[in-house]
Amino acid sequence: MDLSSQLIEKLQKKTARVAVLGMGYVGLPFATVFAEAGFEVIGIDPIQEKMDRLNRGESYIMDVPTEQVARLVKAGKLKGTSDYAVLKDIDAVAICVPTPLRQTGDPDLSFIINAAEGLAPYVHAGMVVVLESSTYPGTTRELVLPALTEKSGLVAGENVFIAFSPERVDPGREDWTTKNTPKVIGGITEKCTEVSAAWYAQALDKVVPVTSTEVAEMAKLLENTFRMINIGFVNELALMCDRLGVDVWEVIDAAATKPFGFMKFQPGPGLGGHCIPIDPLYLSWKLHSLNYTARFIELASEINLSMPRFVITKVQDGLNEHQKSLKGSNVLVLGAAYKPDIDDLRESPAIDVIMLLQEKGAKVSYHDPYIPSIKLDKGKIESVPDMMKAVKSADCVVIITNHKVYDYAAILKESKLIIDTRNALGKAGAKNDKVVRL
Ligand SMILES: NC(=O)c1ccc[n+]([C@@H]2O[C@H](COP(=O)([O-])OP(=O)(O)OC[C@H]3O[C@@H](n4cnc5c(N)ncnc54)[C@H](O)[C@@H]3O)[C@@H](O)[C@H]2O)c1
């Protein structure tokens, strides 16, 4: 039996040992799904505190229940470490490290490079490695492949199997999870695709093999760029409706009654999260290096980035109606996470809105049940302990994230002025003079 067949057999029998590099929002759910399927999984993360919590049987990600982690840890199916040396006995590795942007807006690939270089001394014949992090087309072949094969002398598709499979997890979502969301996977060679797909099929409901790592990388960027451009378009629709004096929310709801050929997107205070505002910029950066300008991406990005300033003009206009200036007014921002019902602040437009309000001299406070504090350029601020008390005393309440736990009827009743950037108040807000909607 050749090496690939031996590895596939080990994967099918679940005797293969699995490691996950990067145990965050993607890595921990991924590790639990594979542990749940019967594999012995070891998570590797430089943040020792996360690994200690994992080994105590605690979850630190909202979507993963602590009871599940505790059960898997107790059964010996899941554990964590910060030590890469464990990789020498591992058969299958998933890399789930961050891919943020640098201050300059360029991709920061240092996490992928560090993970690949950290894995390199332990890579061995009969190992399968899959990169999960969202990145530009070409990353797996240009960065991961040489790191794992140049010094080791291994050959992809012959004795080591390397692939890319984009993670699609949508935190906070219960209907589509890591397990049941179809998983695209493309290898450096056909054999790499075959082996990695055989691994993933042991734990995930549907695996979609494609012919190369580049196709898999680009598919992820198509998905996220599609969302980012459509959100940019609907944000511009909000700007146009504002000029026309037309209710953008009613327009969108009316258009969404068309049963075909239309997909509903909603405007808001700006883009947030680790994927939608960032991944398309990986693509446009790569295209720049090939002397091509990704025009739709750049235009949508410009509109999306302008939204926090548009929110500030709405706050100013609203206060103006109450004979107040923004400078010196008490402004309460409600919701800071980048989307409802989650605890992730990354790239949230709330940060820009708060800093712009502070720049204009407003006295800003915020409340978010899931985000206890926010680090800003000018120090840290903490979520107010009593939300309704803060609503009552604020000159203006700005709804940035429409968390479900908020009692919007009570907020509407007790506030003096509300800027509703998410249509959280719905029809009640449309009819009320003290509410300004996007
Ligand atoms: N969060 C999401 O909703 C989501 C969805 C789809 C895709 N993604 C993509 O998945 C990737 C990971 O995102 P995330 O949200 O899980 O990030 P995260 O920051 O929550 O987790 C990444 C983890 O990697 C660890 N890490 C950093 N360097 C490491 C290294 N050299 N070795 C091992 N671990 C290392 C970090 O300490 C962190 O715990 C990104 O590329 C992201 O774009 C994220």
- In this model, does residue 105 exceed pLDDT 90? no
pLDDT, mean of residues 35-46: 98
pLDDT attached to residue 37: 98
Q: Beta strands of 37-90 (E only): which ranges?
A: 40-44, 78-81
Q: Are 397 and 380 in contact (CB under 8 A)?
A: no
Q: Which residues pair with 364 in a beta bridge?
A: 331
**Verdict on whether the full-model pTM lies above 0.85:** yes
Ligand 1 centroid to residue 394 C-alpha, Å: 37
Q: Which of 167, 181, 217, 282 to mutate to test the pocket of ligand 1 (most atoms within 8 A of CB)?
A: 167
**pLDDT, tens digit, 9 for 90 and up, residues 47-69:** 999 999 999 999 999 999 999 99
Ligand 1 centroid to residue 69 C-alpha, Å: 19
Q: Are 354 and 374 in contact (CB under 8 A)?
A: yes
Q: Which atom of ligand 1 is nearest to the CA of 21?
A: 33
Q: Which of 274, 275, 276 to mutate to test the pocket of ligand 1 (most atoms within 8 A of CB)?
A: 274
pLDDT attached to residue 419: 98
Structural class in CATH, domain 226-437? alpha beta
- In this model, does residue 286 exceed pLDDT 90? yes
State the burial class of residue 336 (Cβ atoms within 10 Å of its Cβ: 0-12, 13-18, 19+): buried
Q: Which of 23, 96, 342 to mutate to test the pocket of ligand 1 (most atoms within 8 A of CB)?
A: 96
| Residue bearing the bigger pLDDT, 360 or 170 | 360
**How many other CB atoms are there within 10 angstroms of residue 251's CB atom?**
16
172 Cβ closer than 6 Å to some ligand 1 atom: no
26 Cβ closer than 6 Å to some ligand 1 atom: yes
Domain extents in the chain: 3-211, 226-437
**pLDDT, tens digit, 9 for 90 and up, residues 404-428:** 999 999 999 999 999 999 999 999 9
pLDDT tier, 172 (very low <50, low <70, confident <90, very high otherwise): confident
98 Cβ closer than 6 Å to some ligand 1 atom: yes
Q: Which of 45, 83, 338 to mutate to test the pocket of ligand 1 (most atoms within 8 A of CB)?
A: 45
Identity at 74, one-letter amino acid code: K
pLDDT, mean of residues 101-110: 91
**From 20-34, 96-110, 126-140, 208-222, the region with the lowest mean pLDDT:** 96-110
Between the alpha carbon of residue 371 and those of residues 45, 220, 240, 367, the distances in Å are 23, 28, 33, 8
- In this model, does residue 224 exceed pLDDT 90? yes
Percent of residues, the chain, with pLDDT higher than 90: 95
30 Cβ closer than 6 Å to some ligand 1 atom: no
**pLDDT, tens digit, 9 for 90 and up, residues 340-396:** 999 999 999 999 999 999 999 999 999 999 999 999 988 899 999 999 999 999 999
Ligand 1 centroid to residue 157 C-alpha, Å: 26
DSSP conformation letters of 277-325: TTHHHHHHHHHHTTT---HHHHHHHHHHHHHHHHHHHHHHHHHHHTT--
Ligand 1 centroid to residue 391 C-alpha, Å: 35
pLDDT attached to residue 73: 98
pLDDT attached to residue 219: 98
**Architecture of the domain spanning 3-211:** 3-Layer(aba) Sandwich (3.40)
274 Cβ closer than 6 Å to some ligand 1 atom: yes
**pLDDT, tens digit, 9 for 90 and up, residues 76-87:** 999 999 999 999
Ligand 1 centroid to residue 413 C-alpha, Å: 41
Identity at 131, one-letter amino acid code: L
- Which residue owns the Cα nearest ligand 1 atom 7? 167
Residue in this structure with the two tokens 């091509």, named with its chain if needed: 292
- Which residue owns the Cα nearest ligand 1 atom 5? 169
Q: Please, what's the largest Cα pairwise distance for the chain?
A: 82
pLDDT, mean of residues 296-305: 96
Summarize the chain as % helix, strand, coil (round to 5): 40, 15, 40
Q: What is the 8-class DSSP label of residue 101? A: B
pLDDT, mean of residues 232-238: 98
45 Cβ closer than 6 Å to some ligand 1 atom: yes
CA pair distance 120, 130, nearest whole angstrom: 14
> How open is the CA angle 254-430-314, to the nearest 5 degrees?
105
27 Cβ closer than 6 Å to some ligand 1 atom: yes
Q: Which residues pair with 17 in a beta bridge?
A: 40
54 Cβ closer than 6 Å to some ligand 1 atom: no
Instruction: Point out the residues that are catalytic.
Output: 275
pLDDT attached to residue 343: 94
310 Cβ closer than 6 Å to some ligand 1 atom: no
Percent of residues, the chain, with pLDDT higher than 70: 100
133 Cβ closer than 6 Å to some ligand 1 atom: yes
pLDDT attached to residue 377: 86
Average pLDDT of the chain to the nearest whole number: 97
Q: Are 210 and 216 in contact (CB under 8 A)?
A: yes
State the burial class of residue 381 (Cβ atoms within 10 Å of its Cβ: 0-12, 13-18, 19+): middle
Q: What is the 8-class DSSP label of residue 250? A: H
Q: Which atom of ligand 1 is nearest to the CA of 50?
A: 39
Q: Which residues pair with 107 in a beta bridge?
A: 101
Q: Which atom of ligand 1 is nearest to the CA of 171?
A: 3
pLDDT tier, 274 (very low <50, low <70, confident <90, very high otherwise): confident
pLDDT, mean of residues 142-160: 97
| Residue bearing the bigger pLDDT, 1 or 120 | 120
Q: Are 274 and 280 in contact (CB under 8 A)?
A: no
161 Cβ closer than 6 Å to some ligand 1 atom: no
Sign of CA dihedral 43, 49, 55, 57: negative
Identity at 60, one-letter amino acid code: Y
pLDDT attached to residue 1: 80
**From 82-96, 128-142, 162-176, 254-268, the region with the lowest mean pLDDT:** 162-176
Q: Which atom of ligand 1 is nearest to the CA of 169?
A: 5
pLDDT attached to residue 104: 86
Sign of CA dihedral 67, 73, 77, 78: positive
